[in-house]
Structure 1
Amino acid sequence: MAENEAVVEAALGKLDLDAKTRLLAGQDMWSLPALPEIGLASLVMSDGPIGVRGVRWTADDPSVALPSPTALAATWDPDLARRAGVLLAQEARRKGVHVLLAPTVNLHRSPLGGRHFEAYSEDPYLTGRIGTGYVRGVQSGGVGTTVKHFVANDAETDRFTVNNVVGERALRELYLAPFEAMVDGARPWGVMTAYNTVNGTTMTEHHHLVNEVLRGEWGFDGFNVSDWMAARDTVGALRGGLDVAMPGPRTVYGESLAQAVRAGRLDESEVDDAVRRVLRLAARVGALADAEPAVRQPPAPVDGEALARELARRSFVLVRNENNALPLKAGTVALIGAAARDARVLGGGSATVFPARVVSPLDGLTAALPEGTLTYAVGADPTTELAVADKGFTLRAVCRDADGTVLGTGSAPNGQIQWMGSDLPEGVTHERLHTIELTGTFTPRVTGTHSFGVKGAGAFTLTVAGTTYYDDVQLPADVSDPFEAFFGAPVPRAEADLTAGEPVDVSLTHALRLPEDIPLKVVAFALAHQEPQRDPDELIAEAVEAARAADTAVVVVATTDRVESEGFDREDLHLPGRQDDLVRAVAAANPHTVVVVNSGSPVELPWREDVAAVLLSWFPGQEGGAALADVLTGAHEPGGRLPTTWGSLTDAPVTRVAPADGELPYTEGVFIGYRAWEKEGRTPAYPFGHGLGYTDWTYESVEVAGTTVKIRLRNCGERTGREVVQVYLAPTDTDTDTDTGIERPARWLAGFASVEAGPGESTEAVVDLPTRAFEVWDEAAHRWFFVKGSYEIQVGRSITDRRITATANV
């Protein structure tokens, strides 16, 4: 609004060069400095995208944990994404956060991408629609978003240094498309530029993509923040359109930026442009005096647990349901799988939050099924390494100086310590802090040989039940990713024979050696633990007996945080451990076997034709077990449809994620996801858009008027249901277009809508096809080209299950 722009200009005019450059550098891990002289409060940012962690990375500051972004996209419901955003804005306000570092709208270019659970889809249109709803929801609560990671940050291998070589057409039609759609449809207040390089220029210095495309062509007026530690060069970053370099205060901005201006390498007006955008953000979120916040009255309060449960069940994708195996029939149920008891509800890395409670599948089904009808067996544990100490541990952190004097104590809800910048216990400073002792008790759940270990680098002393097992320096792994200390694997250091129910003392002491010149002071280490490991064949045999004795067997299989996480890509699509063997054995013992797949992105399911039903639950968030019970028992339909293709790695058309000599060429052009599967003539396990409900639908008619498509369909089943109607656009000439000389996919998603109807009822879906669905990027002319001609409008339930067609001439 014009009044705010005047306030921004007045505030800018009161700042000297040092204050301006200090503001752009940030003040710590998560915030920008306050400037009281202009009435500017400190702007606070926080990681998302499925919750708001706040400025403290600890389980004693809990957050609502929603399902993974892949789950959100699987709902195919932009309004549900908007409602999720409203809840996250509510969480942000509760934690004093002004800007959410989300959503992630990079594409599922290859199924091996390790961070795909944090992105939405392989399709740019679906990604843009879901992301637009999310941003609208968050910002309706007066909280800013930073759409990320701009751009082509589609894999994790060498993410800080890789040069992704992307053709102009693929860049425009695929990778930039979701960002463009969201700038147009949601006006985000921020964008985060990525670590990687695109076509020879690092993204934090990419003048063409940031200043000419994002700001120039699209009219983006928000601020541009770097991914953490991504900014490399002072002059290059500012001229490349980067406004804020994080984390602060020691970045390429601050004093370095002021010196560059004074030396004549930059003009102060260029600094003013960046500061102006930060002040505009502050005005929007209510952190700048005399400016009118974008939102005066936040939306009505949202029940976080209820929404998390609804979102989860709406995201579950039923990909197989032979002989109506689901919903469960009356009778006994054998629940099997380690992930059924200790659920994995979210992905690893910076998307991690700490919910106040987690409902596991075992919890959910125990509450939902009649007493005495449910049994449980571990079957097979996918976790082959130690994990952060959690269940059974009661710990606290004791901080001491070099003389052993206690400076202060901090809570430790689990075995992970991650203190960033000034996030230290009361009375503790980095200057005096010498050792941190994680100390307390551990009460085992089972009798046997327990393993303990250490995550982190430096000097450690590990003591269990009065015995010191390790007292040495643990060297850092040879890795290129500086965040490996947060996301890396623990190292086993002790084995102790313990008895179930009998508590023992545990202690892990870490002596700090933080370099004086380190840009950000971070204390990060963890006590790790693993329960006694039983013979896998015995566990599978026990599960088989349980399955044989029950009417239905429900097996929960899962990935782990060493399979899907930030910081590395996957090597294959296999389920870890002996889980495939477990499913085969259970299915052989009980023909009524239902498998729940607890993963954030595709895995191979070699036994899928041998079981009665397969339900994909993604990373389902804190209420996942309750939502699973809702769906298995039939209280609610599984509402999801696949936002990305599931198939074997052998058949997947695009698999390369590792650069060679620093470069990763996107040689496939615009042919990723279902576009590539169709071009190569390969059949996936489950196609894009696929998903079953608990009723059947008949597609009766389709009418096309201009670019508006009206579809009539009828619920021909026996219960109320919800259908996601998908509209695909197929040029009648499937070869290279004669007008443009550009090869196009056989078909592409052009629109979708959800409808509900009771048994026997008919309903209508109305889908307006966007102009962009008919356009291609002409690399020779560097512009969008509207391709006139005849198109077949294909309507159905997935990319391969197309029920009804019409013709459109445009």
Structure 2
Amino acid sequence: MGRTQGWKLAVGCALLAGATLAVAQDAPVVTGDKRVDKLLSQMTLEEKITLIHGTQEDPKVYQGQAGYLAGVPRLGIPGLRLADGPPGVLTRHPSQAETATMGVAATFSEKDAEANGLVIGREDRALGIDVSLQPFVNIDRDLEFGRGYNTFGEDPYLTSVMGAAEIKGIQSQHVMAQVKHYVGYDSDGTSTYIDDQTLHEVYVAPFDAAVKADVSSIMCSYNRLNGTFACGNKDSLTTILRDQIGFKGFVTSDWGATHAVNFINAGLDMEMPGEPAENAPFSLPSFFDLKPVPAAPDMSKLSAMIEDNDNMFGNHIPEEPAKQPGDLGDFGTKLDPKKLKEALADGTVTEAAITRAAGRVLYEIVHFGYMDGQSKHDVTTQAIEANAKIIEKTGEDSAVLLKNDGAALPLKDLDSVVLIGPTAAQVDAIGINGERSVGLPERQIGPLAAMKKISGKNIQFAVADDMTGTTIPAAMLTHDGKPGLLRTTGDKQQTDAQLDFTKKNGKALAANSIVKWTGEINVPAAGNYWIYLQALGANAVINLDGKKLSATGAFQGGVHGDILQANQDNVIPTPDGLDNVRRAVDLTAGAHKVEITTSDDTSKAPVQMRLNWYTPQQRQADHDAAIAAAKKAKTAVVFVWTRLEPVFGLPGDQDKLVEEIAAVNPNTVVVLNTSQPVALPWVDKVKAVLEMWWPGDEGGWATANILLGKTSPAGRLPVTWAKKLTDYAATNPRFPERSKKGVGHKTTYSEGVHLGYRWFDKENVEPLFAFGHGLSYTTFEYSGLKIAKAADGGLDVSLTIKNTGGVDSDEVPQVYLGAPGSGPQDAQFPVRKLVAFDRVQIGAGKSQTVSLHVPERQLQYWSTKDQKWVTLTASRTLSVGGSSRALPLKQPVE
């Protein structure tokens, strides 16, 4: 539910209590809303403070969500639960995995974005969550930004439209959306510098659109912006957000992004995570409470805790390069030890500032109906089937056909097709866990099985890289010279021939079992072995030869679901739905000591544990079998994947695999599961390339429908696909100040408004695939461009699109505005910028008139001199077509 609907509820209740309304008129004006101001006038200082900082929820009902804000029961003000995405909802309860954000962007469909928001809101509602910490509307300006995969791409207008639509969907379900991260959080650099025009036109623009979409709240970011912490930056939080944009909701800090109590004076309203749990191994500083000033946080403990628990984003797997130690930057550090009690005493913070912040939070609580029966913290049945239909459609709509020589797709003669790669048999639903829902493994049907089901054909398969492995044989395991591993449970001991306890084989251990296995693995020959620790229902650690090899990535108090879930640590879970922690290790022939210990993850689920491996001999055999299968088939479809590392590359030997398969089969098709561009050194040697992103739980069906031609692909690239990493503005070595490392610990966005495709246009660099590019199984012809001035000051654009092929398909017309022939010397203008788009369905051989609207704001530029939006009168060219580099229709406009 949005603010408007909540307002009707609030007014209705107030009118029923006429006397209360009359009294409320005498309350001091804080928010301008009588009911909210009345409540504020009744609250004590301590109660107001309760509404501006996080605290710990009762462990009996805590859902493992990111944060909790206590309410004021005396006045009927409920608490708020805040849960992470995007996309989806991350709590103790597994929930559906939606198509990744970049995939949603690739649909170029406002309807799809809103539908995905609806799914997210429905999941939040079912799981008892009030505030959904999404959408993520930062800009994908730097492929080395570790969270760029979570964005809607490189264009501010596309991001604005898709983000706003997702907000509407989320809030339609009585759930607050919290758009993030405001602002300049588009790099791993911790201190970003952005000029005023670029800040407004590119990086603030999606937040402006979010405010216009009535978003409840905004999360401020970790970085410094132009020298000042974003969560304590008065220029951005007050001057821009409040005064210029008119935001009425509340601003929450990112977790640990508050560094001083006076951030409240700059415009920060709510601190998260706030008060730490008792006996927490590490706690972030908390300022917005009345508790004593704590000791400075020991950041080495945080680093050790992350290392000890591997990583909430999953540590490196055998195909990936080893992770380099991360720089925590200013995370969790304090600039001033003063807290509210001391700040109130010396006047650094006034009660009026606290009242203002509490009023903004309360305003949203009231206007979302949470005081009128809409607060819901019980966990109820999820709308799985209804959500699944949207997830599958989004997966299909997001598919981008990058290349299709000789109409290699859709596939024909399925009796002579072979699918190759682990993500052909199991859908790469989420890519990497991040802060998103990790999905329901029981729903994750792989593309191979889906294609067999749809077609009725027995399609061939070769794994090439077996991510499941085989259980280490009993003959290889000993302890104290005896067969098997020694299992210790409390004061009881017994011998297990193998470590293989699962629901599938009927040997799962009792819930809450705390177990240790010790012994030796007897390696038959020296080599690089891949060891797979597979678990569910418990956390687990494996030590080899006295050193820690790996551990499951969940831990209690992790505020990202809290319990171990199946997609926590690998590209895909095991086929029987276990988390799969995979590590490579060089082993000599002979005995190697092994120790595996579990700890309770509080899920109360049966404990499943398995120890598998993938020997170097089997890896070679699987590789050779894949090449042989490709050589025998008429068409080879190779599935490749990536997570975060390496940047702009496929992990492991996947490029080599594609090259070898293409060498033996001239009809090679590649299916990508990525969320960022990667180098494609073999692109000229394969017939077709299909980008399926990370398509969510239903992605196997979506992939099958595209490959089989049941659906014509029509997705478009939301980010330019370069030929090499150094072609991008932020990773061009000529401009070191733009990189995440920056110069003097400052990352300067010196490319200004010329990022993404705008940079390629400005520098005349030819991309591999342009922004907005995407093919389909048909062709389209554009004609009849007409442009008229719109009533709102924008432009109305109409044209005719004809489907000139034999397949019904969607098409995505895009409108770009060129730079003025002459304009203000102190302003920047891209060669062209996206200003309108739509996604339309056109039948084979049919023509359709399409109308698009260019908002007035897209005709304007931000004047730094005048501090306002200005519309140019100079002539500019409006271009329309199927991508930023395919624009057949052009017309000058004033």
2:51 and 2:362 in contact (8 A); partners too? no
Counterpart position of 2:45: 17
Task: State the shift of 1:181 in Å.
Answer: 1.7
Does residue 1:639 correspond to 2:723, yes or no? Answer: no
CA RMSD of aligned residues (A): 3.8
2:121 corresponding residue in structure 1: 89
**Shift of residue 536 of structure 1?**
5.6
* Alignment match of 1:710 (pick from 798, 823, 826): 798
1:241 and 2:267 matched: yes
Structure 2 partner of 1:339: 423
Shift of 1:22: 2.9
Task: Give, as a single letter, the amino acid of the residue that structure 2 aligns with 1:643.
Answer: P
1:381 Cα deviation after fit? 6.6
- After TM superposition, give the deviation of residue 492 of structure 1 in Å: 6.8
Deviation string 1:573-615 (CA, Å, 9 cap, x unpaired) is: 1111111111111112112111001101111111111111100
Cα distance in 2 between the residues matched to 1:106 and 1:122:
9
The one-letter code sitting in structure 1 at the alignment partner of 2:799 is I
Once the 2 structures are TM-superposed, how far is the Cα of residue 96 of structure 1 from its aligned partner? 0.4
Q: Distance in 2 between matches of 1:530 and 1:226?
A: 43
How far residue 507 of structure 1 moved from its aligned partner, in angstroms, is: 4.2
1:34 Cα deviation (Å)? 2.8
2:540–2:596 contact (8 Å) kept in structure 1? no
Counterpart residue identity of residue 132, structure 1: A
Superposed CA deviations along residues 377-406 of structure 1, whole A, max 9, x for unmatched, are 12247999xxxxxxxxxxxxx999xx99xx
SS in 1 for 2:730: coil
- Residue equivalent to 1:699: 782
SS in 1 for 2:219: strand
- 1:262 maps to a residue whose letter is A
Give the distance between the partners of 1:662 and 1:784, measured in 2 at CA.
32
Judge conservation of contact 1:23–1:254 (CA < 8 Å) in 2.
Answer: no
Q: 1:259-288: per-residue Cα shift (whole Å, max 9, x none)?
A: 422342211010011111111222233332
- Inter-CA distance 360–312: structure 2 relative to 1 (3 Å threshold): same
2:227 matched residue in structure 1: 200
1:532 Cα deviation from its structure 2 partner: 3.4
Structure 2 residue matching 1:303: 3-state secondary structure: helix
Residues 10, 266 of structure 1: alpha-carbon distance in 2 compared, 3 angstrom cutoff: same
Secondary structure of the equivalent of 1:312?
helix
Question: Structure 1 pair 723/378, CA: closer, same or farther in 2 (3 Å)?
Answer: same
* Counterpart check, 1:306 vs 2:334: no
Q: Aligned in 2, Cα 1:496/1:627: closer, same or farther, shift over 3 Å?
A: farther
Greater RCO (Cα-Cα under 8 Å, separation 6 or more): 1
CA-to-aligned-CA distance 1:232-267 (integer Å, 9 cap, x gap): 1111x2112111111132421111324422342211
Cα 1:172/1:30, change in 2 over 3 Å: same
Structure 1: 5+ residue stretches without partners: 294-298, 385-397, 405-411, 415-424, 429-434, 441-446, 499-504, 513-525, 564-569
Aligned mates of 1:581, 1:490 — CA distance in 2: 21
Question: For 1:808 and 1:96, how far apart are their aligned partners in 2?
Answer: 51
1:362 paired residue number:
448
Q: Is the 8 A contact 1:469 1:493 kept in 2?
A: no
> What TM-score does the superposition give when structure 1 sets the normalisation length?
0.80
**Count of residue pairs brought into register by the alignment:** 709
Match of 1:579 among 643, 647, 654: 654
| Distance of 2:420 and 2:622 partners within structure 1 | 10
Determine the structure 2 residue equivalent to 1:627.
702
Who is 1:779 aligned against? 864
Name the structure 1 match of 2:474.
Answer: none
Residues 799 and 739 of structure 1: is their aligned pair in 2 closer, same or farther, counting only changes over 3 Å? same
From 630, 634, 637, give the equivalent of 1:547: 630
- How far apart, CA to CA, are the structure 2 residues paired with 1:23 and 1:704? 50
Task: Identify the range of structure 1 (18-27 vs 282-291) with the bigger mean alpha-carbon deviation.
Answer: 282-291
In the alignment, what sits opposite 2:759? 676
Q: Structure 2 vs 1, CA of residues 781 and 697 (structure 1 numbering), >3 Å: closer, same or farther? A: same
The residue type paired with residue 148 of structure 2 is H
Q: Does 1:254 align with 2:289?
A: yes
Cα offset, 1:659, TM superposition: 3.1
Aligned to 1:73: 105
Deviation string 1:20-64 (CA, Å, 9 cap, x unpaired) is: 22332211342111321110122111111221123x2xxxx2211
Provide the rounded CA distance (Å) in 2 between the counterparts of 1:472 and 1:84: 41
> Contact 2:801 / 2:848 at 8 angstroms: preserved in 1?
yes
Kept in 2: contact 1:382–1:559 (CA 8 A): no
What one-letter code is carried by the residue in structure 1 that aligns with 2:796? T
Q: Distance in 2 between matches of 1:183 and 1:133?
A: 12
Q: 1:292 to 1:627 in 2, by over 3 A?
A: closer
The verdict on how the C-alpha distance between 1:651 and 1:740 changes in structure 2, with shifts beyond 3 A counting, is closer
Structure 1 residue 654 displacement after superposition: 2.4
Match of 1:388 in 2: none
Cα deviation, residue 14, structure 1:
2.5
- Give CA-to-partner distance per residue, 1:88-126, whole Å, 9 cap, x none: 111111000011000000001122222222110100000
Asked whether 1:40 is paired with 2:89, we answer no
Q: Do the aligned partners of 2:344 and 2:351 also contact (CA within 8 Å) in 1?
A: yes
1:245 maps to amino acid: E
1:631 and 1:506 map into 2 onto residues whose CA distance is 46
Contact 1:380 1:539 in 2 (8 A): yes
Residues 530-609 of structure 1 correspond to what in structure 2 (within 5 A)? 531-534=614-617, 538-560=621-643, 563=645, 572-609=647-684
User: Which residue of 2 is the match for residue 567 of structure 1?
Assistant: none
- Alignment pair present for 1:652 and 2:721: no
Structure 1 residues 475 and 264, CA, compared in 2 at 3 Å: closer, same or farther? farther
Q: Deviations over 1:631-656 (max 9, x none)?
A: 00001111200111011213223212
Instruction: Give the conservation status (yes or no) of the 8 Å contact 1:64–1:622.
Output: yes
Alignment map for 1:100-115 (pairs within 5 Å): 100-115=132-147
- Structure 1 consecutive aligned stretches of length 4 or more whose deviation exceeds 6 Å: 290-293, 299-302, 381-384, 471-477, 482-498, 526-529
Q: Which amino acid aligns with 1:164?
A: T
Question: Which residue among 773, 792, 795 is the counterpart of 2:880?
Answer: 795
User: Matched residues in 2 for 1:111 and 1:382: separation?
Assistant: 27
Kindly state the Cα deviation for residue 339 of structure 1 after the two structures are TM-superposed.
2.3
Alignment pair present for 1:131 and 2:183: no
Residue 506 to residue 628, structure 1, CA distance change in 2 (3 Å): farther
Q: What whole-Å deviation, never above 9, does each CA across 1:299-349 have from its counterpart, x for those lacking one? A: 999711111111001001001001111111123211001222343321332
Structure 2 gap segments, 5+ residues each: 1-6, 15-32, 57-65, 277-285, 291-338, 377-381, 470-487, 493-500, 504-509, 519-524, 563-567, 571-580, 602-608, 732-738, 790-794
CA distance in 2, matches of 1:52, 1:114: 20
Shift of residue 625, structure 1, vs aligned partner? 1.0
Match of 2:30 in 1: none
Partner of 2:802, secondary structure, is strand
Q: Which moved more, 1:347-356 or 1:488-497?
A: 488-497
Q: What CA distance in whole angstroms lies between the structure 2 residues aligned with 1:610 and 1:473?
A: 39
Question: Does the C-alpha gap of structure 1 residues 80 and 546 become closer, same or farther in structure 2, counting only changes over 3 Å?
Answer: same
The amino acid that maps onto 1:52 is: V
Partner of 1:209 in structure 2?
Answer: 236
Note the C-alpha offset of 1:473. Answer: 11
CA–CA distance in structure 1, aligned partners of residues 146 and 758 of structure 2: 21
Residue 771 of structure 2 is aligned to residue 688 of structure 1: yes
Once the two structures are superposed, what CA deviation does each residue of 1:543-578 show, in whole Å capped at 9, x if it has no partner?
Answer: 121112112111001113x52xxxxxx6x3111111
Cα contact 2:141–2:730 (8 A) shared by 1? yes
Check whether the contact 2:531–2:583 (CA below 8 A) recurs between aligned residues: no
C-alpha distance 119-322 of structure 1, shift in aligned 2 (>3 A): same
Q: Aligned in 2, Cα 1:383/1:808: closer, same or farther, shift over 3 Å?
A: farther
**Change in CA separation of 1:540 and 1:654 when aligned onto 2, cut-off 3 Å:** same
Helix, strand or coil: the match of 2:725? Answer: coil
Alignment CA distance shift 1:150-1:727 (3 Å) = same
Matched-pair identity in %: 31
CA distance in 2, matches of 1:138, 1:375: 41
